[in-house]
Structure 1
Amino acid sequence: MKVLVTGYTGQLGHDVVREGKLRGINMIGIGREDLDIANEVEVYQYVQKTNPDVIIHCAAYTAVDKAEDDKETCWNVNVLGTKYIAKAAKKVNTKLMYISTDYVFDGKGEEPFKEADKPDPVGYYGLTKYEGEKIVTDLLEEHFIVRISWVFGINGHNFIKTMLRLSKTRDELNVVGDQYGSPTYTFDLARLLVDMIQTEKYGVYHASNEGFCTWAEFASEIFQQANKDVTVNSISTEEYPTRAVRPKNSRLSKQKLIDNGFEPLPKWQDALQHYLNELAQEVN
């Protein structure tokens, strides 16, 4: 099996390639410097040349706040890029897995969003990711759409690294405590995605580590596990204004994973512990 992974320089793409290679799969990881996914001719030529069995499309414009002002770039990457990848996949008869996000939902209510719930994004980033979903659904009968949330991995920036950095100079932090979701470790997620592409169990899935928390609760757990003496003050979304609206409810139901026989990811607290250990090994 040959698998082409876009967004290789990001947290998830990096771990997907690593996981596939561990299993002896021929993984081709590409980043921005290898291919401009917003160039249709380039995309088709590259996909035709590599002729993969599967494309895992992790590449995305994910700067949520910046997207509100830099709409053209966000659209070109998340919508046109996805369209060109999907069209190329169709031409060479390749399976496609599209990585989407909790931001396709409006974040209202307290119940976990189900896979079949209608998306209603409130920000531009979420809108472009939903447009990408629609393109994949329209162009390809056989596809995977996997919505993920609150991602952290060894390769790149994330909330955990930010908290650990701040803990070096601060003994008290204000963190938003009314947005709920599931932290998701790319190491765990990558294993699931590589399992998934080896099946024909197509469709829309939600994938995150088990359990829900707020950002403030997440921060507190980070400091506790990392033995950092930092007080976390839980504040409201309104007290921490951002350019883009954040969904207050990013809880995702993973029922479809269970129904299709995929193993749920570990609890987010266990994932955090594993990640902190991985970070420590990298430092040493």
Structure 2
Amino acid sequence: MKAIITGMNGAVAPFVNRELEKRGIETVIWDRAKVPTDNEKDVFHFIHEHKPDYFLQIATGPVEWLEYIAKATKELGVKLVFTSTVSVFSEQGTGPYTIESVPDSEEDYGLYKIECEKTVRAFHPGAVILRIGWQIGTSAGSNNMIDFLERTFQEKGVIEVSTEWYPSTSFLTETAKVIVDGAAILEPDTYLVNSNKKYSFYEIAQHLKEKHKAEWIVQKSTDLKRDDRMFDDRINIPELF
């Protein structure tokens, strides 16, 4: 089996790539410095040349690039997995969210991902869309929760986190397994990926502080009152703690 994967400069794709390798799936990395994203023929040629079984679109990029990918993978019979986000839901609203919840973001990133989801559905109805939450990595240095907490502590000397915000979040290692499962076993549909069943951001930060033996000073706040958790019984992912 073979998979093309995008987004290797981000937080999620390197973990997905390792999970693919663990399962004996050959990986082809899309290098945007070598393969353009703005030419439909070049996109089709790259996918056709490598003949993957799966295409894992984890990178952000122009919606037109995603359209080219969706068209090519559909025509070539390649299973497409697209990673979306909990940010498709409004920051003015509150969850918990289910698959029946209607995306209603007013923010640029959420609107971008909503447009991406529509593009995938329009041009590759057989694709799998995975809405993921804030990812928890293993260390600082990339766009994940550990990095946020460490940077906040270094900049401010204290981390104020809400006891009344319940984020959608998962460990990157577990999210990677779900993404690969999206290619291998999930049926075409939109799925919600979240490991946090019951914890506030304050409780999560305290747990991560203990786990990583960090020197963070974590203080309670109630400034943010919202429930961003997503629930989908079809997704097999361990609970957070």
Please indicate the TM-score interval, normalised by the length of the shorter structure: 0.7 to 0.9
What does residue 203 of structure 1 align with? 189
Q: How does 1:149-228 map to 2 (within 5 A)?
A: 149-154=133-138, 156-165=142-151, 167=153, 172-199=158-185, 201-228=187-214
Identity of matched residues, %: 26
Q: Runs of 5+ in structure 1 lacking a partner?
A: 61-76, 239-246, 258-262, 270-284
Q: Deviations over 1:49-73 (max 9, x none)?
A: 212111011001xxxxxxxxxxxxx
What is the identity, as a one-letter code, of the residue corresponding to 1:266? P
Alignment TM-score, normalising by the size of structure 1: 0.74
What does residue 106 of structure 2 align with? 122
CA distance in 1, matches of 2:155, 2:87: 32
Q: Deviations over 1:9-29 (max 9, x none)?
A: 222211111111111111112
Q: CA deviation at 1:35?
A: 3.2
Q: CA deviation at 1:41?
A: 3.2
Match of 2:233 among 255, 260, 267: 255
What does residue 243 of structure 1 align with? none
Cα 1:205/1:18, change in 2 over 3 Å: same
CA distance in 2, matches of 1:133, 1:169: 36
Q: Runs of 5+ in structure 2 lacking a partner?
A: none
CA distance in 2, matches of 1:144, 1:176: 33
Q: Deviations over 1:110-159 (max 9, x none)?
A: 54211132111120110010111111111122110000000133573322
Q: Which structure shows the bigger proportion of residues in helix conformation?
A: 1
- Does the aligned pair in 1 maintain the 2:132–2:169 contact within 8 Å? no
CA distance in 2, matches of 1:200, 1:192: 9
What is the identity, as a one-letter code, of the residue corresponding to 1:191? K
Q: How does 1:54-93 map to 2 (within 5 A)?
A: 54-60=54-60, 77-93=61-77
CA distance in 1, matches of 2:135, 2:33: 23
Q: CA deviation at 1:80?
A: 1.9
Q: CA deviation at 1:37?
A: 2.8
Q: Deviations over 1:164-212 (max 9, x none)?
A: 3555686532234543213211211111222232225221101122424
> Any idea what SS the aligned residue of 1:138 has?
helix
Computed over aligned residues only, the root mean square deviation of the Cα atoms, in angstroms, reads: 2.5
What is the identity, as a one-letter code, of the residue corresponding to 2:14? H
What does residue 220 of structure 2 align with? 234
What does residue 26 of structure 2 align with? 26
Cα 1:17/1:229, change in 2 over 3 Å: closer
Q: CA deviation at 1:213?
A: 3.3
What is the identity, as a one-letter code, of the residue corresponding to 1:268? L
> Any idea what SS the aligned residue of 1:130 has?
helix
Match of 2:132 among 143, 148, 156: 148
> Any idea what SS the aligned residue of 1:213 has?
coil
| Moved beyond 6 Å, runs of 4+ | none
- Does the aligned pair in 1 maintain the 2:81–2:183 contact within 8 Å? yes
What does residue 41 of structure 2 align with? 41
Cα 1:9/1:230, change in 2 over 3 Å: closer
Cα 1:128/1:27, change in 2 over 3 Å: same
What does residue 68 of structure 1 align with? none
Comparing 248-257 with 222-231, greater Cα deviation is found at 222-231
Q: Deviations over 1:76-135 (max 9, x none)?
A: x25222212111212222111110000111245554211132111120110010111111
Number of residue-to-residue matches in the alignment: 239
